[in-house]
Chains A and B, each alone.
Chain A
């Protein structure tokens, strides 16, 4: 598959860039942060804009036409997320589509897909993945248990840092139905309605003003039909969902990195010291050029990773690790340098660079940071 966008994808990207500039400009994050009592702020996203995004068809990108989707594939979703990354657009697109819809597409029965995918595609239903249980991503460690009682599952346990957890309608919950806390065997996925009795959700207010939640399950009972995929054998599917999530995150990061970088370059051209633009100093020029190179490499990795998902090849996990590692490194570099190169201005809330660095660390941590993925990559390559 070519590493360039086709005409259709380019159009999608252009319209997404315009849309986010208009409806979710970067100031949205400041508004949400500074008016904590407003409804939008409580939700952590703008419902009316999300509805518009649904009308634009963005949650439908990766969903096949037979389930009410557009069949644009992951490249389609990626370009929209990249555009959103430029304005740090808060929306449940990543949770609901890259994670939620992927879970259904990878493991759902025909019935489950027919029931939920059209609702995800239109934006009516918001899904997310409830996986993590501690401070860091560790997909093997699942202590949330689901006991089998008759034909039901009874869930007890706690999930942490569930992205968009407090606004989701449906959770894809990773539970343990068998085995030790740390074993790959014995994991299962259950679909749980967030309004279900015994589900309690507490929003975690994070540095990036976006949505995370801690979710407890207290004897939550769901029927056998809530099982997604095979009982006890969900680990492989979870990895596949997480791979897609990381590739989507890498696309978002790519957008943010480019924006932060461009703003920094602009500053280098306009800020003057010693009677000249600071961008004329070679110490800064070289660092800027090095960042540029890393971003170019990032574009290629992200594009290949998105392509890999659409091609459905064996290389998806390799690409997911590679894209995530590289975008973590690059986002760290560009956000740190972005502050440094803005001098005193860089640490003020006046500029956007501070918003980028805050979001940077959150997306880097989500679904595994660079250290996690370097090691996973080594394991995948057999060393």
Chain B
């Protein structure tokens, strides 16, 4: 049933961190570069018009040179500092408060270039770059450690769905604002009673002629309390089979009847909330796709999760102390070895799995390049990646000892290790739980039958 997954910006973020840590570990693997920034290979040909001219080797080299010069000139130094947390990312929107003048400037400059959405057509706020040019741009950004100018659920999730299913009016209205970071979007899919079984959602939309009145509640809405608009799955037909009565609508969250209640996470942050709807108005003109066919749009939107990872992956990163060094300091060193042999083995086993995962991402990319359809390897990404990341965080606790459990104060870097560890627990829940991923692999990839009831 679920052969896609809901992904939140935090997931992308985790993936990105995951990749960076591979790098920071002083890993000696070859070709590591090609999977630090792995996801572009999964990007489908969408907006980019592939022109032979701009993609020739010479043209791309020239483009790289221009780009580098522009970035050096225009990316403020503060925007080349490593991203420390979600707070350092620019999410935009009506309520956004820039962290610094530099953050604002950086967004404005990138928007003017159309480089927040490089491959989109210019009329929608993009720069009309080809895929290859975009790759060059990201590569140059990475080299100079430029932060992404804009992080946006609108760009990575909503826009692809609008491009495919939206009306021309909807595209003209929403896409440029998304590109410029003027409107911040949230995703209203999950409900208290509809998690893994998303299609059982009950938020009701009552037909009022030119609009609907929406009543119900969404939960786990990432940055719902900071968002301006929501794209939302609502039930427009309670009599139809569960997947056939769902519609995909968009509405402004700044209206009476929308309330949000932040949810506090074990990691001490609160980046999502429960959202309540009390006679909330959604215009019929903001219906994406056909009425009662919202499930199709919903699925399509979710398939774009990996594109997102690519975006996030262009942040800078500072070399941290390698984990093996930390373990040596915690447990002592004997003849160059971590004195605690159990920790040593645990670390080696982890690093081998980590390398295997990285190489699998690379293999997927190579297979895609070689023209084979996205292989079954893609379905392991979510499952294996999030389990691996949880293991990494557990290992950080083992290697750092009690230091890892400090929660506040400079000596503990404000509990960074503990907070990241707790945050990693969301990996195997968000975006479709690990169990749901295993169900998908069992059914879709291995072809195992469903239960006969």
Q: Which residues of A contact B (CB under 8 A)?
A: 2-4, 265, 268-269, 275-277, 279-282, 284-286, 288-290, 292-293, 296-301, 303-304, 308, 311, 313-315, 318, 321-322, 325-326, 371, 374-375, 377-379, 381-383
Give the number of A-B contacts (CB < 8 Å). 148
How distant is A75 from chain B, measured CB to nearest CB, in Å?
13
| Nearest-CB residue, chain B, relative to A293 | B380
B452 at the interface (CB under 8 A from A): yes
Instruction: Report B418-453 residues with CB < 8 Å from chain A CB.
Output: 435, 437-439, 441-443, 445-452
A252 to B446, CA, bound (A): 23
Cross-chain contact B353 with A300 (CB below 8 angstroms): no
Segment of B9-17, B138-146, B241-249, B341-349 engaged in the interface with chain A = B341-349
Contact pattern, B 326-357, Cβ under 8 Å of A = 1, otherwise 0: 01100000001110000011011101110111
Interface membership of B251, Cβ < 8 A: no
- Cβ contacts under 8 Å, A4 to chain B: 363, 366-367, 370, 372
Q: Report chain A residues within 8 Å CB of B377.
A: 296, 299-300
Tell me the minimal C-beta distance from A251 to chain B in angstroms: 15
Interface residues of B in 14-45 (CB under 8 A from A): 28-30
**Chain A, Cβ-Cβ closest to B335:** A379
Pick the contact of A325: B349, B362, B369, B442 (CB < 8 A).
Answer: B349
List, in ascending order, chain A residues with CB within 8 A of B360's CB. Answer: 296-297, 299-300
B392 to chain A, nearest CB (A): 15
Q: What are some 19 contacts across the A-B interface (CB < 8 A)?
A: A2-B370, A265-B447, A265-B448, A276-B451, A284-B448, A288-B442, A288-B448, A289-B383, A289-B446, A292-B446, A293-B380, A296-B377, A297-B353, A301-B356, A322-B356, A375-B345, A378-B337, A382-B324, A383-B338
Task: Determine if B348 and A377 form an interchain contact, defined as CB atoms under 8 angstroms apart.
Answer: yes
Which of A3, A304, A318 meets B28, CB within 8 Å? A318
Interchain CB contact under 8 A, A268 and B356? no
Interface residues of B (CB under 8 A from A): 28-30, 324, 327-328, 336-338, 344-345, 347-349, 351-353, 355-357, 359-360, 362-363, 366-367, 369-370, 372, 376-377, 380, 383-384, 435, 437-439, 441-443, 445-452
Tell me, rounded to whole Å, the shortest Cβ–Cβ distance linking A91 to chain B: 28
Q: Judge whether A318 and B29 touch: CB under 8 Å.
A: yes
Assess A269 versus B363: contact at CB under 8 Å? Given A301-B356, A322-B356, A374-B349: no
* Complex CA distance for A279 and B370, rounded to whole angstroms: 33
Q: A280-B452, A289-B439, A378-B345 are in contact. List 11 more A-B contacts (CB 8 A).
A: A2-B370, A3-B367, A4-B367, A277-B448, A280-B450, A285-B443, A293-B383, A304-B359, A318-B28, A374-B352, A383-B338
**Measured between alpha carbons, how far is A231 from B435 in the docked complex, in Å?**
57
Using Cβ atoms and an 8 Å threshold, which residues of chain B touch A265? Answer: 446-448
A311 to B353, CA, bound (A): 22
What residues on A are CB-neighbors of B384 within 8 Å? 293, 297
Q: State which of B338, B372, B442 has its C-beta within 8 Å of the C-beta of A289.
A: B442
Question: By the criterion CB–CB under 8 Å, are A2 and B366 in contact?
Answer: yes
Query: B344, A383: Cβ atoms under 8 Å?
Result: yes
| Max chain A C-beta neighbours (<10 A), residue from B30, B336, B369 | B30
Chain A minimum-CB-distance residue to B29: A315
Contact call B352/A379, Cβ cutoff below 8 A: no
- Asked if B448 contacts A268 (CB within 8 A), the reply is yes
Q: Which residue of A lies closest to B328 (CB)?
A: A383
What are the 8 A-B residue pairs with the smallest beta carbon separation, nearest first?
Answer: A285-B442, A289-B441, A3-B363, A383-B324, A300-B359, A297-B356, A279-B448, A289-B438
Whether B29 contacts A293 by the Cβ 8 Å rule is no
* Bound form: Cα–Cα A292–B29 in Å: 24
Contact A281 B451, beta carbon cutoff 8 Å? yes
**CB proximity of A74 to chain B, nearest CB, Å:** 15
Supposing A303-B363, A325-B352, A381-B324 touch, asked if A285 and B448 sit within 8 A by C-beta, the answer is yes
- A15 to B391 Cα, complex, angstroms: 41
Closest chain B CB from A35 CB (angstroms): 37
**Chain A contacts of B450 at CB under 8 A?**
280
CA distance A326 to B358 in the complex (A): 14
Tell me which of A279, A299, A371 contacts B363 (CB under 8 A): A299
Instruction: Report chain B residues within 8 Å CB of A288.
Output: 442, 446, 448
> Whose C-beta in chain B lies nearest to the C-beta of A329?
B349
In the complex formed, the residue of A with least CB distance to B345 is: A374
Contact at B447–A381, with CB atoms within 8 Å? no
* Given A326-B353, A383-B336, A3 and B451 contact (CB-CB distance below 8 Å): no
CA distance A282 to B442 in the complex (A): 9
Give bound CA distance, A268 to B448, whole Å. Answer: 8
Tell me which residues across on chain A come within 8 A of B328, comparing CB atoms: 383
**Closest B residue, CB atoms, query A299:** B363
Pair A383/B347 contact, Cβ less than 8 Å:
yes
Interface centre among A4, A276, A325 (most CB of B within 10 A): A4
List of B residues within 8 angstroms of A282 by Cβ? 439, 442, 451
Closest-CB distance, B10 to chain A (whole angstroms): 23
Tell me whether A285 and B439 are in contact in the complex, defined as CB-CB below 8 angstroms, given that A275-B452, A321-B352, A326-B353 are known contacts.
Answer: yes
> Are B324 and A276 interface neighbours, CB within 8 A?
no
Give, as a whole number of angstroms, the nearest-CB distance from A171 to chain B.
32
Do B359 and A280 have beta carbons less than 8 Å apart? no
A268 and B435 CA atoms in complex are apart in Å by 19
Q: Which residue of B lies closest to A321 (CB)?
A: B352
Q: Which residues of A contact B355 (CB under 8 A)?
A: 301, 318, 322
Complex Cα distance, B344 from A267, in Å, reads: 39
The CA-CA distance from A98 to B40 in the complex, in Å, is 37
Q: Min CB distance, A363 to chain B, in Å?
A: 18
- Minimum distance in angstroms from A141 CB to a CB of chain B: 19
CB B150 to nearest CB in A, in angstroms, measures 33
Judging by beta carbons under 8 Å apart, are B337 and A377 in contact?
no
* B445 closest partner in A (C-beta): A292
Give Cα A303 to B356, complex, Å: 11
The answer to whether B448 touches A300 (Cβ under 8 A) is no
Which residues of B have CB within 8 Å of A301? Answer: 355-356, 359
